[in-house]
Structure 1
Amino acid sequence: MIDRLEKEVDMLERHLQVLRMVIENEPIGIVKMSNETGYPHHKVRYSLRVLEEENLIEPSSQGAITTETTVEFVGDLDGKIDEIVDKLDGMKIDDVPEIES
């Protein structure tokens, strides 16, 4: 159960790293992103597809570029991540009596 969550968080981290690269270097292509991040081309391509489906980037003849939606998303991102972290902190089981086997 937790393994799936960890994999989702890792994938989200990759998507956000790819988005950051587009923001900082637009237009930017798959090869450059792959070389700079160390992610294989197919993983970068998948992240780009997810970001495009979310309307956060769009393709151009020179590479990926940001959209009008990107600024608002980035502005809201830290708050949303903080909310998730708070929710996860609330799920911790700190004061559980020792379980005997």
Structure 2
Amino acid sequence: MLKKIQEDISLASRHIEVIRAVAGHQPIGIIKLSELLNVPQHRIRYSLRVLEGSGYIRASSAGAMVTPKAEEMFLRLNDDIDEIIRIVSRMKQV
């Protein structure tokens, strides 16, 4: 049961890593992101597709760029992660 949660958290971590890299190097393409993050291109492509579908990045002719939604996410990220940690900590106490 918890294996799926671990996989989801790992995937979310990669998506966050990708969006941070896009924000820091925009516009940026798949090959450059793959080299920068040392992640295979097919995984970068998947993360970009998910992030674009969720409205966090947009594609341009020069490469991926973050949207205002991504900038809002960055503002709340630490608080959101802290809340996840609190929930998981309560699970541990049960």
User: TM class, shorter-chain normalised?
Assistant: over 0.9
Question: Which whole-Å CA distance do the structure 1 matches of 2:53 and 2:82 have between them?
Answer: 24
Specify every segment of 5 or more residues in structure 2 that has no aligned partner in the other structure, as ranges. none
The aligned runs of 1:1-101 (5 Å cut-off) are: 1-93=1-93
Q: Which runs of 4+ in 1 moved over 6 A?
A: none
TM-score for both structures, normalised by structure 1? 0.88
Specify every segment of 5 or more residues in structure 1 that has no aligned partner in the other structure, as ranges. 95-101
Q: Residue type matched to 1:20 in 2? A: R
* Larger-Rg structure: 1
Q: Residue type matched to 1:31 in 2? A: I
From the two aligned structures, give the one with the greater helix fraction.
Answer: 2
Quote the sequence identity (%): 38
Question: Which whole-Å CA distance do the structure 1 matches of 2:24 and 2:93 have between them?
Answer: 40
